[in-house]
Amino acid sequence: MSTFKVLVTDHAWPTLDVETSVLARVDAELVVAKTGDTAELVRLAENADAILTCFAKVSQEVLDAAPRCRTVARYGVGVDNIDVDHATRLGVIVSNVPDYCSEEVADHALLMLLALSRRLLPLARQISAGGWDGTAVPTPVRLRGKVLGLVGLGTIGRALVPRAQALGMDVIALQRRPGETPEGVRTVSSLEELLAEADAVSLHCPLTSDTRGLIGAAELATMKPTAVLLNTARGPLVDTEALVAALERGDIAGAGLDVTDPEPLPADHPLRHRDDVVITPHVAFSSDGSLAELARKAAANAADVLLGRSPATVVNPTVLTSPALRPALEDRS
């Protein structure tokens, strides 16, 4: 019988071989949820020493049902699906993997920008329907000399900079935290300034109470009517109804969305059927290399805590010195 049990709430890849290998080294076995809904997670959390989670909600209810749990390790960067505040109150360490897919997400943002500017979607749909008329769609847009505006200049935003510059684009950025600015990037002082100047706006910020609904009707109205919006971060950064209305009015020229609100979009949602919108199903992070790295690093974060060590990245560092911090196995009475 294994020393530890690690609950896997959900995962977005075919196997858990990597996690199984990493956690076996600390004598931990995986308990894999089938649906990832709250009722199932509450039931399975009772005997969990750690939780690995991708998209499933690790809510207060789930955390309260897990008296042995010492850590919640997120498969990914954002932790908006975890009740971090409650985890901190309970003495549970929350970790994430902030550096595994920067190249992939930057590639994906660029892919959507290129698809929108070259009218790829309506052209491909026309061909599949038997057509062959390059003049039946709006004229493609030259990207050289255009301005890309980055909302957030973390690892992904920084990875997108040289890609855009290679196309001859100028890059401006709204930087949330102080830090060195990449060569050739000009920072702006406000979101309004960035939206008004950019020909393409790409979102690279976390979902928080401050950023929820960051792009709404007023912000979309500030953008150029020829500009496009790209979102590879989190769906609720954008007010979906406002985006639909802006596209219908021609306030902006298009959108590229790897994330949506809600997610997934209903099958009959109007955004699914527009030629000026490119949507992918939250896969910007995914590649053969990134998924293996993600699984390994998230599992290692959980393993470190089970062994009484701090993980590579702690989302709630105050918990480390909190009297509520849950003890290692050998310290339990």
Instruction: Find where tokens 């993997």 sit.
Output: 97
In whole angstroms, give the CA distance from residue 164 to residue 184: 11
Burial category of 293 from C-beta neighbours within 10 Å (exposed 0-12, middle 13-18, buried 19 and up): middle
**For the chain, how long is the longest CA-to-CA vector?**
75
The answer to whether the CB of 74 falls within 8 A of the CB of 100 is: no
C-alpha dihedral, 207 to 208 to 213 to 214, nearest 10°? -80
Residues involved in catalysis: 234, 263, 282
Helices (H), the chain: 17-24, 38-45, 60-64, 84-90, 102-117, 120-128, 155-166, 191-197, 217-222, 240-249, 288-306
Instruction: Find where tokens 């050289």 sit.
Output: 144
The answer to whether the CB of 136 falls within 8 A of the CB of 188 is: no
**Which residues have CB under 8 Å from 10's CB, separation 6+?**
33, 36, 53, 54, 55, 56
DSSP output for 49-65: SEEEESSS-B-HHHHHT
